[in-house]
Amino acid sequence: MKRTYLMLALYSSVFIIFGLVFIYSAGISMEARHPGVTASEFLERQLIAFAIGLAGALIIIYMKGSWHFKRAFTVYYPLTLILLVAVLFFADRGGSHRWIDIGSFSLQISEFAKISLLIVLAKYFGGLKKRNFLNTFLIPLGILAPLAMLVFIEPDLSTTGIMVAITLVMMIIGGIKMRYIGLALIFVVILLLVLYSGGFIEEYQIQRITSFLSSFTGEEHEQVSYSLMAISSGGLTGKGLGMGLVKYYLPVSYSDFIFAVIGEELGLIGLLVLMLAYVGFIRELIVAGLRGSTALEGKLYIVGFALYIMIQATINIAVNLGLFPATGVTLPFVSSGGSSIMSLMIGYGLVFSILIESEEEKEKENAKA
């Protein structure tokens, strides 16, 4: 397992280094566009969030993985529901209720809800004795529904979509029959049509999709056009760190479009290094989950966490390449975002907690033998 720990630490270090370097680089463009804002502020905020997330991860690692799964339905699930309800009563920002303000600090609860959902579903599927339509389809949808609806009405359609994707993934690795997955997808489509016809989907969300389907023109797709311009202008080796120019026209270059900033300044080689790091990281997690964890719930969580990273990274990269509508989904461990990096570090900490506990159990069994 030492090799596994080393490789996971290596890959995550690559992401963190990429993130800190290019959050600062993107912050330079924000500094030029917004007087009073400095690039160092973006870097400092990310460093603070990372430090808090790392502290949270260390606490999670200190506590056994089984401790968290035992409290999945008694602590994690109800607490997540309470916080998602509470966030609706805080002041909105740009028409959305997504943050709980604690002094000068803000938490986006939906980011933590994704990790909580993974824990709850891993515990549920790990304890199933019989896998039928009710147990593998209806009940998991029932677990998802309250969380997804609360996130949806914030409104946060992209996070809602990721939560649905997480649930579908956990259904698949949890043993659902594939014909039920088709039924689930039909259900999602029907639900979206009902929400659309009922006026529950915001106009800007509809415009993102229609502009994507129509062309690369118009205000809604302007940022994607600049993203493509940044990546293409970077060529093979890029313009050099801090030397990007197109980032000055990207409104959220430090977050949603940080992939484009990397492409402009490090070129195709830099992007390939980053994408290969994601592939290696996800593979290492899946192998560690399947081989390292002794408990089924642990295996399910680690594999689910790996696929969650894959889903979110794929969506972000696809948006930057103009292959998917702009969503606001961050690049895991790289994009600026306090709640994002904190929740990911905590979720990542649970991976190590599960693996360490499993290793200790194996050592005890070997000692007895």
| pLDDT for 217 beyond 70 | no
What's the number of domains the chain is made of? 1
The whole-angstrom separation of Cα 23 and Cα 14 is: 14
CB atoms within 10 A of CB 360: 12
Q: What is the pLDDT of residues 86-99, one digit of tens each?
A: 999 887 776 777 88
pLDDT band at 204 (very low <50, low <70, confident <90, very high): low
Give the residue, 306 or 323, on which the prediction is more confident: 306
Q: Which is nearest to 150 in space by CA: 71, 93, 97?
A: 97
Would you state the pLDDT for residue 32? Answer: 82
Would you state the pLDDT for residue 92? Answer: 78
The whole-angstrom separation of Cα 4 and Cα 296 is: 19
Q: What is the pLDDT of residues 265-306, one digit of tens each?
A: 999 999 999 999 999 999 999 999 998 877 899 999 999 999
Domain that includes residue 17, residue range: 2-368
Which amino acid is present at 284? E
Q: What is the pLDDT of residues 169-194, one digit of tens each?
A: 999 999 888 888 888 778 777 877 77
Q: What is the pLDDT of residues 97-127, one digit of tens each?
A: 788 887 777 899 999 999 999 999 999 999 9
pLDDT band at 195 (very low <50, low <70, confident <90, very high): low
Would you state the pLDDT for residue 186? Answer: 83
pLDDT band at 307 (very low <50, low <70, confident <90, very high): very high
The whole-angstrom separation of Cα 79 and Cα 81 is: 5
Which amino acid is present at 317? I
Q: What is the mean pLDDT of residues 119-141?
A: 93
| Lowest mean pLDDT across 22-26, 83-87, 101-105, 197-201 | 197-201
* Helices (H) then strands (E): counts for the chain: 14, 2
| pLDDT for 159 beyond 90 | yes
Q: Supply the DSSP string of 301-338, one letter for each residue.
A: HHHHHHHHHHHHHHHHHHHHTTSS-------TTTS--H
CB atoms within 10 A of CB 103: 5
342 touches 105 (CB < 8 A): no
The whole-angstrom separation of Cα 232 and Cα 201 is: 34
Structural tokens at position 102: 């604690």
Q: What is the pLDDT of residues 223-268, one digit of tens each?
A: 888 999 999 999 999 999 999 999 999 888 999 999 999 999 999 9
Would you state the pLDDT for residue 267? Answer: 97
CB atoms within 10 A of CB 2: 7
Give the residue, 64 or 347, on which the prediction is more confident: 347
pLDDT band at 211 (very low <50, low <70, confident <90, very high): low
% the chain with pLDDT above 70: 92
pLDDT band at 333 (very low <50, low <70, confident <90, very high): very high
Would you state the pLDDT for residue 187? Answer: 77
Give 101's strand partners: 106
pLDDT band at 360 (very low <50, low <70, confident <90, very high): confident
Would you state the pLDDT for residue 338? Answer: 92
Would you state the pLDDT for residue 214? Answer: 53
Would you state the pLDDT for residue 256? Answer: 93
Distance separating the N- and C-terminal Cα atoms of the chain: 20
Would you state the pLDDT for residue 223? Answer: 83
Q: What is the pLDDT of residues 32-46, one digit of tens each?
A: 887 788 889 999 999
Q: Which is nearest to 346 in space by CA: 285, 295, 305, 297?
A: 305
pLDDT band at 218 (very low <50, low <70, confident <90, very high): low
Would you state the pLDDT for residue 369? Answer: 64
Structural tokens at position 82: 């309470």
